Amino acid sequence: MNILLYDHTFEGFLTAVFEAYEFKLKQVKIVKEALQTEQLFAKITKVFTQAPKAERVYQKLKTLIGDLGLHRMLYTFLSEDEDLETHLWAVVQYALNNSKRNIIQDFSHPSVLKLSQYEQMVHREKHRMEAFVRFRLTLDDIYYAEIEPDFNVLPVIAKHFKDRYQDQKWMIFDQKRTYGIYYDLHKVELVEMKFANHLNKQEGLEMLVKDEKLYQHLWQTYFKKTTIQARKNSRLHIQHVPKRYWKYLTEKFPV
């Protein structure tokens, strides 16, 4: 077996695909670097990500499975599932072996089906995050939010926030993956830093503008008052707003 190690990036994965074909490797398994376990009888190669190779694979796939297919591959990638490379690789091979037709809707193939399921999962999380981000205004005039999404959705929610909040600086920080996206009134950039969760702690509060707490309080007041007690239905409530998200929802903060 040939094990190809890549650097956890989508480009890295595409480079690995390129090399698998370039060197006509048999029995390929593409694995994230540092995640491989000891394998007897396997040849392990480290792939160095190269943008031109990735780009060529990308363009080829585009002709085979179209934008929908690439979209699905990207969302699959963001799911961070441990089997995702196996399914991506299977779909890539299936597409290349059937270059006469677009196979991306052929759900009789288990990995094609699997990709559409990954896509759905990640898409759902994207929607949730577009809804559940709660900004707090900091002293340096940045609207700041923390999230802990189930999947790595920052890259796909950036556009939504950029379209919507064009006249304010904002940052959304993924606590689980310790990176964020930052909009500086012109463009969105990735930022990595050990921001930890200091805004959650008491001493972080002095970083917030004076009115911030008051607006949070007003929002909590509103949330309470807009509920109709005679219709209360906690089961439905939790189904829509699962408890694991409460930590970052202003309306759910203890008052």
Partner 1 sequence: MNFDRITEKLEILADAAKYDVSCSSSGAKRNNQNKGLGNSTGMGICHSYTEDGRCVSLLKILLTNHCIYDCAYCVTRKSNDIKRAAFTVQEVVDLTINFYRRNYIEGLFLSSGIFKDADFTMERLVLVAKKLRLEENFNGYIHLKSIPGASDELMKEAGLYADRLSINLELPTEKGLKLLAPDKNREDMIKPMNYVKNEIIVFKEEKKLFRNTPKFAPAGQSTQLIIGATQENDLEIIQTADSFYKNYQLKRVYYSGYVPIADDARLPSLQSKVPMVRENRLYQADWLMRFYGFKADEILDPNLPFLDLDVDPKLSWALRNQHIFPIDIQKADFEMILRVPGIGVKSAWKIIEARRFSHLNENHLKKLGVALNRAKYFISYGLHFGNLKFLNSSNLKQFILGNTKSKYQDQYNAQLALF
Nearer to partner 1 by C-beta: 35 or 131? 131
Residues 131 and 250: their CA atoms lie apart, in Å, by 12
- Of 106, 104, 122, 117, which Cα lies nearest the Cα of 61? 104
Most distant CA atoms of the chain, gap in Å: 68
| Cβ at position 206, least distance to partner 1 in Å | 19
| Cβ at position 239, least distance to partner 1 in Å | 8
Residues 219 and 201: their CA atoms lie apart, in Å, by 20
Nearer to partner 1 by C-beta: 42 or 68? 68
| Cβ at position 68, least distance to partner 1 in Å | 17
Tell me which residues touch partner 1 (CB under 8 A).
127, 130-137, 143, 145, 163-168, 211, 214-215, 217-219, 221-223, 225-237, 239-241, 249-251
Nearer to partner 1 by C-beta: 85 or 146? 146
Q: In this structure, are residues 190 and 157 in contact, taking their beta carbons and an 8 Å threshold?
A: no
Which residues does residue 146 pair with via DSSP β-bridges, in sequence order?
A: 173
Nearer to partner 1 by C-beta: 99 or 168? 168
| Cβ at position 59, least distance to partner 1 in Å | 30
Nearer to partner 1 by C-beta: 166 or 178? 166
| Cβ at position 73, least distance to partner 1 in Å | 23
Which residues does residue 166 pair with via DSSP β-bridges, in sequence order?
A: none
Assign 142 to helix, strand or coil: strand
Give the containing element (helix H, strand E) for 116. helix 110-132
